[in-house]
């Protein structure tokens, strides 16, 4: 039994996430975790809400809540939606936790002791009316590149151009709207990433199996222009991890907090510690996943994320780990994704464009969305969500192929043999051909899942469903029954066992439907089909089953038109 640590990029706390966020990290990570568990591996699947930084403060200000209360509420909402989509986290933590505070301060102290932190005086925008320095995202204005009037001080969301606050035309405070701004001097701590460039480059060069998307982004940031730059790790904010050197005060850094990019990835470790706390386990139980000197040597660590998070996970977080001089586990594989676009444009949390997780579950059960998103995962390039494509995929893949197979075979058996698996008959050439084809397809499916090739895995799974339909159409037990009831019983028995097999194989993609199929077959036997012949004899003659409700209802043209209209504008 292998041990796998899986982390999904932390979603920001500022509001409900859209489907693009979901498919960019959490959902494919869940499919992989479910697959590994089904194969008998020990899995620790970790995620958390990213609660510090400017977005949290701004979002709380808009609702009028204290930022701590806002984050607590939104963590609850995001946790509930994660459960609604079947995300099987072992723990869904919070970057505002005491565990993360202590660990962040610990890493900062280690880095300082090892000479990897320097103090820098720099000039930043100060709002006289707000009485505070304004981080880049607290400053809004007109983009000098495209004219968008709500560009932030770090980037224009409209044209994606990187900006400095001083680039903005008519800059204003995002807190109060005040234009009474001036530039003042302040001090901050910088992580000396540049001194670790050689260590990081050597580490990245050793990752021969990483996706091209991941390594190309990492090397671009590592080598383009002036190469890996030192980066500020503190900010003049009220909400965050207080700047300390371990458990000691840091002279000159009073009232400052660590920058969110520094503390957020440390939460992967902290959330695992939170898991141990919640389960009443010891520190040794979580450290065996993270400390090479305490049992993590045999752990395979995989991270899932959108491509915009790659620089932080290939450069900055490894710099923190390496620079600490302590034997912490570094990531073994980074699975990164391109973007999911929405009906000709971009999903946008700030602009409310696209379908959001809560809205999706109001419309249809989670497995409809899980299937489409995973089978269209933006791996080799961006993918586009359109309602027409969604309707077609649900109707053809889920309703016509899988749902239709389950409905036909269970209803036919009930009408001719009752609600027990019938006895009689033995396999012939047609059944052996099916077994051979299933074995080939299942082994291919396993290979794609192990390699985290999500779309290829989905395609192979659909092909496995198709084999059952083709067999049922060819064998035609409804015709066989008229002349050879015993042979028809064998065909039906094989078909009902295929339902159990499909439930097991499909669980990484459509877990709720998988559970419903197992329940209908009257079994909790979810053993993986290492031996396909044995798997198709798992439910013996005489075993009781029930005819399930319709697994997947087709999406009508009227529904599609209604949803297109409802979601074409900005979220209210």
Tens of pLDDT, residue by residue over 167-221, are: 899 999 988 899 999 999 999 999 999 999 999 999 999 999 999 999 999 999 8
Hey, what are 90's tokens? Answer: 């072992």
- Look at residue 135 in the predicted model and tell me its pLDDT: 80
Same domain, yes or no: 25 and 173: no
Residue 570 included in any domain: no
| 159 marked as part of a ligand binding site | yes
Same domain, yes or no: 74 and 52: yes
- Look at residue 572 in the predicted model and tell me its pLDDT: 44
Cβ 258 vs Cβ 250: under 8 Å: no
pLDDT exceeds cutoff 60 at 473: yes
- Look at residue 224 in the predicted model and tell me its pLDDT: 78
The mean pLDDT of 518-526, rounded to a whole number, is: 97
- Look at residue 567 in the predicted model and tell me its pLDDT: 86
pLDDT exceeds cutoff 80 at 408: yes
Give the count of alpha carbons within 13 A of 110, CB side only.
16
The string of pLDDT tens digits covering residues 372-404 is: 999 999 999 999 999 999 999 999 999 999 999
Burial 424-438 (b: 16+ CB within 10 A, else e): ebeeeeebeebbebb
Domain termination residue (choose one: 146, 174, 190)? 190
* DSSP element (H, E) containing 169: strand 169-173
pLDDT exceeds cutoff 60 at 42: yes
Residue 181 included in any domain: yes
pLDDT exceeds cutoff 70 at 95: yes
Same domain, yes or no: 270 and 331: yes
CATH label of the domain that carries residue 472: 1.10.730.10
DSSP 228: S
- Grade residue 132 by pLDDT with cuts at 50, 70 and 90: confident
Same domain, yes or no: 327 and 431: no
Angle at 495 between CA 494 and CA 496, to 5 degrees: 95
- Look at residue 175 in the predicted model and tell me its pLDDT: 83
Contacts of 283 (CB under 8 A, 6+ apart): 273, 276
- Look at residue 226 in the predicted model and tell me its pLDDT: 63
Rounded Cα distance between 118 and 260, Å, is 18
At 570, give phi and psi (nearest 5°): -85, 140
Cβ 464 vs Cβ 442: under 8 Å: yes
| 556 marked as part of a ligand binding site | no
- Look at residue 343 in the predicted model and tell me its pLDDT: 86
- Grade residue 111 by pLDDT with cuts at 50, 70 and 90: very high
| 71 marked as part of a ligand binding site | no
Residue 540 included in any domain: no
The string of pLDDT tens digits covering residues 48-69 is: 999 998 889 888 988 999 999 9
Rounded Cα distance between 113 and 211, Å, is 35
Residue 71 included in any domain: yes
- Look at residue 335 in the predicted model and tell me its pLDDT: 97
Residue 465 included in any domain: yes
Same domain, yes or no: 46 and 125: no
The string of pLDDT tens digits covering residues 557-567 is: 999 999 998 88
Same domain, yes or no: 400 and 486: yes
Q: What is the mean pLDDT of the chain?
A: 94
- Look at residue 571 in the predicted model and tell me its pLDDT: 47
Q: What is the DSSP string of 432-497?
A: HHHHHHHHHHHHHHHHHHHTT-HHHHHHHHHHHHHHHHHHHHHH-HHHHHHH-HHHHHHHHHHHHH
Domain termination residue (choose one: 190, 209, 226)? 190
Domain of 149, in residue numbers: 118-190
Same domain, yes or no: 224 and 110: yes
Domain termination residue (choose one: 190, 223, 242)? 190
Say how many C-beta atoms besides its own lie within 10 A of residue 549's C-beta: 9
**H helix count then E strand count, the chain:** 22, 19
Number of domains in the chain: 3
Residue 376 included in any domain: no
pLDDT exceeds cutoff 80 at 468: yes
Same domain, yes or no: 25 and 157: no
Cβ 318 vs Cβ 18: under 8 Å: no
The mean pLDDT of 31-37, rounded to a whole number, is: 98
- Look at residue 358 in the predicted model and tell me its pLDDT: 97
The string of pLDDT tens digits covering residues 338-364 is: 999 998 888 876 676 789 999 999 999
The string of pLDDT tens digits covering residues 218-242 is: 999 888 766 788 999 999 888 999 9
Residue 520 included in any domain: yes
Cβ 165 vs Cβ 134: under 8 Å: yes
pLDDT exceeds cutoff 60 at 570: no
The mean pLDDT of 529-535, rounded to a whole number, is: 97
CATH label of the domain that carries residue 29: 3.40.50.620
pLDDT exceeds cutoff 60 at 152: yes
- Grade residue 161 by pLDDT with cuts at 50, 70 and 90: confident
Same domain, yes or no: 89 and 69: yes
The string of pLDDT tens digits covering residues 325-341 is: 999 999 999 999 999 99
Rounded Cα distance between 69 and 291, Å, is 33
Same domain, yes or no: 27 and 140: no
Same domain, yes or no: 76 and 222: yes
In a 3-state reduction of DSSP, which class is residue 42?
strand
| 47 marked as part of a ligand binding site | no
- Grade residue 101 by pLDDT with cuts at 50, 70 and 90: very high
Rounded Cα distance between 296 and 321, Å, is 15
Same domain, yes or no: 424 and 505: yes
% the chain with pLDDT above 90: 86
């Amino acid at each position: 039994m292998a041990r796998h640590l899986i982390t999904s990029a932390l979603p920001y706390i500022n509001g409900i996430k859209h489907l693009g966020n979901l498919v960019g990290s959490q959902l494919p990570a869940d499919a992989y975790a479910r697959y590994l568990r089904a194969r008998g591996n020990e899995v620790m699947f970790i995620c958390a809400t990213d609660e510090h930084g400017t977005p949290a403060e701004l979002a709380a200000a808009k609702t009028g809540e204290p930022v701590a209360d806002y984050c607590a509420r939104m963590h609850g909402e995001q946790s509930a939606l994660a459960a609604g989509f079947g995300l099987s986290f072992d723990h869904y933590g919070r970057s505002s936790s005491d565990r993360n505070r202590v660990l962040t301060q610990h890493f900062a102290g280690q880095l300082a002791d090892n000479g990897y932190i320097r103090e820098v005086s720099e000039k930043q925008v100060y709002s006289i009316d707000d009485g505070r320095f304004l981080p880049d995202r607290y400053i809004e204005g007109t983009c000098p590149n495209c004219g968008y009037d709500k560009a932030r001080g770090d980037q224009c969301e409209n044209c994606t151009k990187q900006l400095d606050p001083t680039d903005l035309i008519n800059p204003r405070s995002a807190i109060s709207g005040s234009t009474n701004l001036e530039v003042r001097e302040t001090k901050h701590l910088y992580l000396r990433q540049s001194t670790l460039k050689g260590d990081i480059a050597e580490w990245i060069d050793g990752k021969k199996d990483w996706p091209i998307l991941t390594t190309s982004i990492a090397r671009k940031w590592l080598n383009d222009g002036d190469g890996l730059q030192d980066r500020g790790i503190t900010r003049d904010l009220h909400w965050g991890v207080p700047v300390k050197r371990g458990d000691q005060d840091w002279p000159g850094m009073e009232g400052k907090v660590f920058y969110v990019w520094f503390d957020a990835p440390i939460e992967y470790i902290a959330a695992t510690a939170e898991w141990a706390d919640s389960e009443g386990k010891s520190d040794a139980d979580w450290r065996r996943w993270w400390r090479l000197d305490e049992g993590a040597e045999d752990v395979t660590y995989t991270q899932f994320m959108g491509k915009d998070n790659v620089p932080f996970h290939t450069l900055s977080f490894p710099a923190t780990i390496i620079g600490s001089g302590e034997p912490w586990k570094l990531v073994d594989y980074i699975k990164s994704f391109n973007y999911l676009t929405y009906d000709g444009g971009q999903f946008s949390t700030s602009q409310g464009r696209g379908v959001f997780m809560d809205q999706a579950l109001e419309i249809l059960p989670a497995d409809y969305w899980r299937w489409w998103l995973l089978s269209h995962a933006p791996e080799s390039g961006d993918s586009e969500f359109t309602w027409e494509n969604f309707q077609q995929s649900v109707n053809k893949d889920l309703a016509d192929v899988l749902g239709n197979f389950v409905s036909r075979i269970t209803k036919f058996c009930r009408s001719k043999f009752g609600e027990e698996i019938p006895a009689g008959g033995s396999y012939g050439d047609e059944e052996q051909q099916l077994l051979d084809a299933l074995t080939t397809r299942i082994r291919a499916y396993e290979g794609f899942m192990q390699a985290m090739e999500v779309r290829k895995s989905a395609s192979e799974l659909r092909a496995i469903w198709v084999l059952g339909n083709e067999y049922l159409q060819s064998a035609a037990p409804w015709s066989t029954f008229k002349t050879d009831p015993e042979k028809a019983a064998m065909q039906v028995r094989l078909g009902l066992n295929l339902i159990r097999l499909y439930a097991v194989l499909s669980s990484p993609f459509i877990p709720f439907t998988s559970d419903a199929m197992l329940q209908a077959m009257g079994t909790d036997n979810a053993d993986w089909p290492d031996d396909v012949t044995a798997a198709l004899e798992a439910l013996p003659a005489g075993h009781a089953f029930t005819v399930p409700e319709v697994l997947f209802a087709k999406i009508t043209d009227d529904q599609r038109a209604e949803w297109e209209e409802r979601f074409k504008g900005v979220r209210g």
